[in-house]
Amino acid sequence: MYKITNKQQLNSNVVRMSVEAPLVANKGKAGQFIIFRVDEFGERIPLTIAGTDKEKGTVDIIFQIVGKGTRLLAEKEEGEEILDFVGPLGKPSKLEGYKKACVIGGGVGTAIAYPSAVALHELGTEVDVIVGFRNKDIVILEEEFKSASDNLYVMTDDGSYGEHGFVTKKLEDLLEAGVDYDLVIAIGPVPMMKAVVALTKPKNIKTLVSLNPIMVDGTGMCGGCRVLINGESKFACVDGPEFDGFEVDFDDLTRRNRSYFEEEQERDHACRMQLAAQKLSEKN
C-alpha cells in the first residue's frame, strides 16, 4: 500500500498529491511516469511524475479528474492509502546542452511540463514558459512556473486572465519577434502539440512532445501504447513517453486514444445515475 502524505486541490478539477513510494522517489526523473491503481477493482492509470523528494521518499503527481479512476484517487485524503503505485516508467527527458528553451503546457499538460521546466532551469538553460488554460478559474502552478522560468506567459482561451488566445499564438509572436530557441517542449492536448510542431518544424527548432496513449503494464508487455514514430511502431512506455515532435503521427495517436471512449462514457453515465439515485434515496 502507498500512503498519500499530502493533497492539494489546484483548481476545481486538478489535484496535486504526494505519495510515499521510496523506490520511485529515489529513481524518478523529469519525463518519467508512474502507474497507479486505487483499489483492486480500479483501472491502471499512468501519470507523469511532477516531482520527487528523495529524503521523504515521496513522489508528487498532478492529475485532472477525467474519469472514474482519477475521481476515485481524488476522493482519497491525506493519510489514506492506495493499492498500487509503480515506477518510474519510461525514459527520462534528455535536457542537457540547450541554451534557450520554450516550455509549453496546455491545460493539465502544464503539470507534466512543469518538471521539465524545473530541470532545464536548474541546468542553467534560459527558460520561457507558455501555459494555456480555458479560463481564469483553472489556471494552475503559476507561482511554481514563475520561479522555474525567465519569462512566463499565461494564456486563456477567453481572455479572462493573462493574454487572450492559444499558446500557439504566443509562440508564433515570440518566434516572429526573433526569439531564438534551440528547444521547444510541448505537452498538452494532441491538437495543441500538433499545432506547436506546425510552427516549429518549418524553422527546424527541436521539439519534444510527451505522449500519453492508453497502456496497461507500462513495461513494454502489452503493446497497447504503440504510437507511429517516423512511420514505425514504438511503445510509448519503454521508447518514450517523450518523442521528437517532428516524427509523431498525431492523427494515429488521436484515433488510438479513443479506443474505450464509448465504454467509458457508458460507465460514467451509469456512475452518475447511481450517484443521483443515491442522493435521492438519502433525501427521502
Partner 1 sequence: MAKRNMSPQKVEMPTQDPLVRARNFKEVAHGYTEEMAREEALRCLQCKHKPCMNGCPVNVKIPEFIQLIVEGDYIAANQKILETNVLPAVCGRVCPQESQCEQLCVRGIKHEPVAIGRLERFVADYFREHSEPKPHGYEKNGIKVAVIGSGPAGLSCAGDLARLGYDVTIFESLPEGGGVLVYGIPEFRLPNDIVKHEIEQLKLDGVKLETNVIVGRSITIDELFDEYGFEAVFVGSGAGLPVFLGIPGENSVGVYSANEYLTRSNLMRAYDDRYDTPIRKSKCVAVVGGGNVAMDSARTALRLGAEKVYIVYRRSFDEMPARVEEVHHAQEEGVIFNNLTNPVAVLHDERGEVTGMKCIRMELGEPDASGRRRPIPIEGSEFDLEVDTIVIAVGTNPNPLIKSTTEGLDVTSWGGIITDEFGATSREGIFAGGDAVTGAATVISAAGAGKVAAEAIDKYLKNKHA
List of residues contacting partner 1 (CB under 8 A) = 23-24, 27, 37, 40-44, 68-69, 83-89, 216-217, 219-224, 226, 228, 233, 238, 252, 255-256, 258-260, 263-264, 267
Helices 190-200 and 250-257: angle between axes, nearest 10 degrees: 180
Q: Which is nearer to partner 1, 221 or 276 (CB)?
A: 221
Output the smallest distance, CB 126 to partner 1, in A.
32
CB of 168 to partner 1, least distance (A): 25
Residue 230 Cβ vs partner 1, minimum distance, rounded to whole Å: 14
**Closer Cβ to partner 1, 40 or 55, answer by number:** 40
| DSSP symbol at 67 | S
| Gap between the Cα atoms of 25 and 226, Å rounded | 27
Distance CA 109, CA 8 (A): 17
Nearer to partner 1, 7 or 27 (CB): 27
Taking the least distance from each CB to partner 1, the nearer of 138 and 214 is 214
Q: Which is nearer to partner 1, 138 or 222 (CB)?
A: 222
Minimum separation from the CB atom of position 177 to partner 1 (A): 39
Q: State the minimum distance, in angstroms, from the CB of residue 106 to partner 1.
A: 23
Of 3 and 256, which CB lies nearer to partner 1 in the complex structure?
256
Q: What would the grid cell of residue 251 be?
A: 492523427
Find residue 129's DSSP bridge partners.
103, 152
Find out whether 245 and 186 touch, Cβ atoms under 8 Å.
Answer: yes
Least distance in angstroms from the C-beta of 92 to partner 1: 11
Q: Measure the CA–CA gap between 133 and 92, rounded to whole angstroms.
A: 26
Nearer to partner 1, 14 or 253 (CB): 253
Q: Least distance from C-beta 41 to partner 1, angstroms? A: 5
